[in-house]
Amino acid sequence: MTSTESGAKPGPRYAQVSDTLQHRIAEGTYAVGALLPTELDLCQEFGISRHTVREALRRLAEAGLVQRRQGSGSQVISASPKGGYVHTMHSLNELFQYAADTHLRVDRISEGVPPAPLGAVLGDQAGQHWVILEGLRLDAAGRLPICWSTVLINQAFAAIVPDFATLTGAIYRLIEDRYGVMVDRVEQNIRAMPISAEAAAELGVSRRIWAVQVVRRYLDSEGRLMLVSVNDHPGDRFSYSMQLQKDVRGRG
Amino acid sequence: MTSTESGAKPGPRYAQVSDTLQHRIAEGTYAVGALLPTELDLCQEFGISRHTVREALRRLAEAGLVQRRQGSGSQVISASPKGGYVHTMHSLNELFQYAADTHLRVDRISEGVPPAPLGAVLGDQAGQHWVILEGLRLDAAGRLPICWSTVLINQAFAAIVPDFATLTGAIYRLIEDRYGVMVDRVEQNIRAMPISAEAAAELGVSRRIWAVQVVRRYLDSEGRLMLVSVNDHPGDRFSYSMQLQKDVRGRG
DNA sequence: TGTATAAATATGTCCGGACAAATTTTCAAT
DNA sequence: ATTGAAAATTTGTCCGGACATATTTATACA
């Protein structure tokens, strides 16, 4: 069919097969709602054992693309977006890993009073001076753009900026280590909003995609804002799972 | 060791093994940070093949309990499988108030196997029959459209449907009261996605607005899905705040 | 025609084995 | 003591086969 299906691919066989199947799903060869070929059919087509086919199908099921049912077959339940991957976070910790302050390619550093849109996340401290960082945040492999990140740093800690070049952990940890000011609590807000032109360009997504903006405000024990991070995730790649406490749902 | 490890258990072997290992992790036999016995050791201990041991370890890794590394071994990275995150009740309750299962104007009721897109939120129970409710959810004043809501009810509880006319509280409470089946835990997932034509029309928003979809799965103590609610919020009106625990952001 | 039963189909579980790839350990050379 | 290469260890990938279980389809019977 397409040239991408004929040539020899790198990586394990099951990955080649799952990639091919995912490609066909995205292409419409296997429509949403339709059944995939049976495992034995796939064995024959790709000339591999059933074990390897099952590994490929298992990964597709894990990615939420297909649903497997004993006796019935594997049904396509979702077509992958053109980006081609589905990122699902299963816990808050994964969100933090996912959006950790690591692998941040800093493109721009400025200082002064943040413009109005950014000032909104600063509340009553909007008029003060801040150190502003903007850049693209990449995944652990350093390749895939995860989100467009803006970090506002209280100017009292401006001296840490030169250390960003060798930063391996979260920025707030750098502040804690250097200044002994401990983060007391973190407020997080999630909202959806139109994506900025800059973020869309950096992330390689259409401006028709909405951004999921995750704002985290780090405060010390006296309620002073130490750090604010604003991450614009492409809406088509954002998913955030958590388990709710029993007593929390009391009012639901 | 304990009595629970000696007797013959039901279910597949890999599940028995992963349950046993999970129990030992929770008990402290395998401490967090320590390495599990090697696959071959486990083969010998349980008298099973390496394939079955690997299936058990794979599930533990999926649950976030262990981390497997080629050449090194499987390391325990967490003692609690099911999230167990504690959020401040104040802010989460705001979400629940915001999207409470009240003030639901039911427009359509159908029964049967949900179509593929909805089936995705049902996981391995997608093929079963459900009672499907769709309608517009209004705010407390009964005026402002909050979200487009789809509710999937386990057919075992189909008899509660006529009572919706006089429903004043959450649907899951109706089930708890009528059937004595208690909700044990609630899984919540937030993601952004294009809004459906139907939801856009009902909510009076443009289709260019993306929806923030909040899926909540209500499970009983045996892991059976009782109820699933899928709420499509207009992205331009959605905001979700919470306060993060200090220990939760530990990895950030 | 409708229904209950049997057969066919498709995925789930489990075994045995083999080699590859990544990591750790051992040990010799400097 | 330090370095570097070889060996041992451990998980990753892949094959072949067998039977179990769930679903669908075909068949026989009423």
pLDDT at B142: 59
**A208–B243 C-beta distance less than 8 A:** no
The answer, as to whether pTM is greater than 0.90, is no
In the sheet that holds A185-194, the strands lie side by side as A104-112, A130-138, A145-154, A225-234, A210-219, A185-194, B239-244
The answer to whether B34 and B24 have CB atoms below 8 angstroms apart is no
Residue B95 is encoded by which pair of tokens? 């979400």
Our measurement of the distance from residue B201's CA atom to the centroid of its chain's CA atoms, rounded to an integer in Å, reads 29
Residue B247 lies in a domain: no
The answer to whether B228 and B250 have CB atoms below 8 angstroms apart is no
**A90–B191 C-beta distance less than 8 A:** no
Residue B230 lies in a domain: yes
The answer to whether B231 and B214 have CB atoms below 8 angstroms apart is yes
CATH number at residue A168: 3.40.1410.10
**A242–B117 C-beta distance less than 8 A:** no
Residue A218 lies in a domain: yes
Same domain, A228 and A146: yes
- The tens digit of pLDDT for each residue in B188-242 reads 777 777 777 777 877 777 777 788 888 888 887 777 788 888 888 887 777 776 6
Residue A204 is encoded by which pair of tokens? 């390689």
Tell me the mean pLDDT in the region A30-58: 89
A71 C-beta less than 7 Å away from strand D: yes
Lowest model confidence (mean pLDDT) among A98-112, A142-156, B221-235: A98-112
Residue B196 lies in a domain: yes
Q: Which residue has the least CA–C1' distance to nucleotide C15?
A: B49
Residue B30 lies in a domain: yes
H or E stretch covering A108:
strand A104-112
Same domain, B107 and B232: yes
Round to whole Å and give the CA distance between B196 and B232. Answer: 9
pLDDT less than 50: residues of chain B? 1-4, 6-7, 82-94, 97, 245-252
User: Which nucleotide lies at the shortest CA–C1' distance from B47?
Assistant: C15
CA of A69 to C1' of D17 (A): 23
pLDDT at A91: 45
Same domain, B70 and B118: no
Same domain, A186 and A227: yes
ipTM of the shown complex = 0.57
Sign of the CA dihedral A16, A21, A27, A29? positive
Number of Cα atoms under 13 Å in the Cβ half of residue B165: 2
Q: Higher model confidence: residue A61 or residue B82?
A: A61
In strand C, which positions have an atom below 7 A from any protein CB? Answer: 8-18, 20-24
One DSSP character per residue, A23-35 reads HHHHHTSS-TTSB
From B29, B49, B76, the end of a domain falls on B76
Same domain, B62 and B169: no
Domain with B160 in it: 93-237
CATH number at residue A69: 1.10.10.10
3-state helix, strand, coil in chain B (%, to 5): 40, 30, 35
Q: Higher model confidence: residue A103 or residue B90?
A: A103
A48 C-beta less than 7 Å away from strand D: yes
For chain A, the average pLDDT equals: 73
Q: Higher model confidence: residue B32 or residue A79?
A: B32
Same domain, A72 and A98: no
- The tens digit of pLDDT for each residue in A193-251 reads 777 777 777 777 777 778 888 888 888 877 788 888 888 888 777 767 666 654 443 33
A54 pLDDT higher than 90: yes
Same domain, A110 and A233: yes
- The tens digit of pLDDT for each residue in A168-177 reads 567 787 788 7
Across the interface, of B89, B184, B190, the residue whose CB is closest to A248 is B89
B92 Cβ under 8 Å from any chain A Cβ: yes
**B126–A64 C-beta distance less than 8 A:** no
Same domain, B68 and B121: no
Amino acid symbol at B197: A
pLDDT at B79: 67
User: Which nucleotide lies at the shortest CA–C1' distance from B51?
Assistant: C14
CA of A209 to C1' of C12 (A): 40
CA of B64 to C1' of C12 (A): 23
A43 pLDDT higher than 90: yes
Which residue out of A77, A95, A247 would a mutagenesis test of the B interface target, given it has the greatest number of B Cβ atoms within 10 Å? Answer: A77
From A76, A105, A120, the end of a domain falls on A76
Residue A67 lies in a domain: yes
Distance from CA of A104 to the nearest CA of B (A): 13
Residue A8 lies in a domain: no
Round to whole Å and give the CA distance between B28 and A182. Answer: 31
Same domain, A208 and A107: yes
Residue A101 lies in a domain: yes
- The tens digit of pLDDT for each residue in A106-118 reads 666 777 787 766 7
H or E stretch covering A191:
strand A185-194
CA of A38 to C1' of D15 (A): 19
Residue B103 is encoded by which pair of tokens? 């003030």
- The tens digit of pLDDT for each residue in B101-115 reads 556 666 677 777 777
Across the interface, of A97, A192, A239, the residue whose CB is closest to B210 is A192
pLDDT at B11: 78
- Percent with pLDDT over 90 in chain B: 10
Same domain, A109 and A183: yes
Same domain, A108 and A220: yes
Q: How many CB pairs under 8 A join A and B?
A: 161
A181 pLDDT higher than 80: yes
What is the rounded end-to-end Cα distance, in angstroms, of chain A?
51
Round to whole Å and give the CA distance between A54 and A40. Answer: 10
**A191–B251 C-beta distance less than 8 A:** no
**B238–A192 C-beta distance less than 8 A:** yes
Number of structural domains (chain A) is 2
**Token pair 């053109």 is at which residue?**
A82
pLDDT at B169: 64
Same domain, B207 and B148: yes
The answer to whether A146 and A85 have CB atoms below 8 angstroms apart is no
